[in-house]
């Protein structure tokens, strides 16, 4: 693709000509449809000067440059997705692709600190809600692949959102500075709105009580690594199932696999919502709501514990106190679990897993968090340069 552009530089002297560096990407009409389907988005270019015409007017040089652009990476196979918004986007083929690349990312993490796969790319992390693991793992993932990061934490309070700027206007602005946006928002559906607005990839890092698809990806990747299979498994979801976006997203992914059974164990005030139960039923996934954690834990391959989310209760502190502390994974639960089974948690935890569980080899939650780095490295690579 050739692009002509007119630009002016400083004074011309007798002996030298100096040019300001040209950088361009978003906003140019690019024909990389074999790589990206989002209109007007192109990968970071390398500028090649094909021709130069100079004219002089009052000591000022005006020039017309013929610039030919080409990607700075080896073009690979296009990833099937343009954005990561919800767990329903993934099928087993896409999941297998992500897992394969994640395993390669683990090797890079251990052995190639100077990796430059995403050199020249900028990722913006736009977080309207607090985050530790998700934001830092995305930023670490980008930097370990040679890319750079633009970040804002608590954008709800410290960005122009506090002045009343719409999400759409914020996204249009930030995409002008970056090549991919990772966004956490307090409203369900916000990531979908951002993706409909942006011309660069959007990754949903959690949207209110809606979904958290990258957490679900690292969760199911962890189950595969820990248990050794995803078909014919039994999973217990425990805790805040009404507000737990991680539970919702992982349930959607588990429905892709055969002969899976899911147990829902929660206080009455935070039971799993009907839309998830209907989704599982429509896809032939067996599920059951239970009150006895000990009984369920003895049957399952995975006990997926979650925190009772104080921030989702608003002024109803009484309901929060009613739900908190009812189901705790401790040594009594471990004693009934099978030897191959694991305890998982999306973190952060409060008191729903006792600290004495940490030393048991079946406590997988910190390994789970580490797997998040490799999954997110894989997603950034796949969305930006293919595989």
Instruction: Give the residue numbers marked as catalytic.
Output: 133-134, 163, 184, 212
Cα gap 372→57, rounded to integer Å: 58
**Helices assigned H by DSSP within 132-201:** 133-144, 155-158, 167-174, 190-197
Backbone angles phi, psi at 287, to 5 degrees: -145, 160
Cα gap 173→354, rounded to integer Å: 45
**Rg over CA atoms, the chain:** 24
Omega within 30 of 0 (cis) for the link into 348: yes
Cα 361 vs. chain centroid, distance in angstroms? 27
Q: Could you tell me if 201 and 383 are in contact, meaning their C-beta atoms sit under 8 angstroms apart? A: yes
Q: What is the 3-state secondary structure (H, E, C) of 334-378?
A: HHHCCCCCEEECCCCCCCCECHHHHHCCCECHHHHHHHHHHHHHH
Cα gap 216→347, rounded to integer Å: 13
Q: Could you tell me if 128 and 161 are in contact, meaning their C-beta atoms sit under 8 angstroms apart? A: yes
């Amino acid at each position: 693709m050739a692009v002509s552009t007119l630009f002016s530089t400083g004074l011309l002297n007798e002996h030298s000509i100096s040019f300001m560096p040209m950088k361009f990407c978003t906003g140019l009409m690019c024909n990389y449809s074999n790589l990206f389907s989002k209109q007007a988005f192109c990968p970071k270019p390398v500028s090649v000067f094909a021709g130069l015409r100079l004219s002089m007017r009052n000591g000022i040089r005006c020039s017309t440059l013929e610039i030919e652009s080409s990607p700075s990476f080896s073009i690979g196979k296009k990833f099937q997705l343009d954005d990561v918004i919800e767990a329903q986007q993934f099928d087993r083929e896409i999941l297998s692709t992500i897992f394969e690349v994640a395993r390669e990312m683990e090797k890079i993490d251990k052995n190639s600190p100077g990796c430059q796969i995403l050199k020249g790319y900028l990722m913006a992390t736009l977080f309207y809600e607090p985050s530790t693991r998700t934001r830092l793992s995305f930023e670490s993932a980008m930097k370990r692949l040679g890319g750079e990061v633009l970040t804002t934490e608590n954008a709800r309070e410290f960005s122009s959102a506090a002045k009343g700027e719409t999400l759409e206007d914020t996204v249009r602005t930030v995409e002008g500075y970056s090549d991919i946006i990772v966004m956490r928002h307090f409203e369900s559906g916000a990531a979908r709105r951002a993706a409909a607005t942006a011309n660069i990839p959007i990754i949903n890092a959690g949207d209110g009580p809606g979904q958290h698809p990258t957490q679900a990806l690292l969760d199911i990747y962890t189950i595969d690594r820990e248990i050794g299979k995803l078909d014919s498994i039994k999973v217990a979801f425990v805790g805040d199932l009404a507000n737990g976006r991680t539970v919702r997203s992982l349930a959607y992914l588990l429905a892709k696999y055969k002969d899976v059974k899911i147990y829902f164990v929660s206080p009455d005030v935070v039971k799993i919502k009907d839309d998830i139960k209907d989704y599982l039923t429509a896809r032939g996934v067996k599920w059951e709501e239970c009150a006895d954690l000990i009984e369920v834990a003895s049957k399952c391959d995975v006990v997926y514990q979650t925190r009772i989310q104080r921030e989702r209760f608003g002024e109803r502190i009484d309901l929060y106190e009613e739900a908190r502390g009812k189901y705790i994974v401790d040594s009594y639960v471990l004693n009934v679990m099978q030897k191959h089974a694991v305890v998982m948690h999306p973190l952060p935890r409060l008191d729903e897993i006792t600290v004495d569980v940490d030393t048991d080899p079946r406590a997988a939650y910190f390994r789970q968090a580490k797997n998040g780095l490799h999954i997110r490295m894989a997603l950034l690579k796949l969305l930006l340069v293919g595989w």
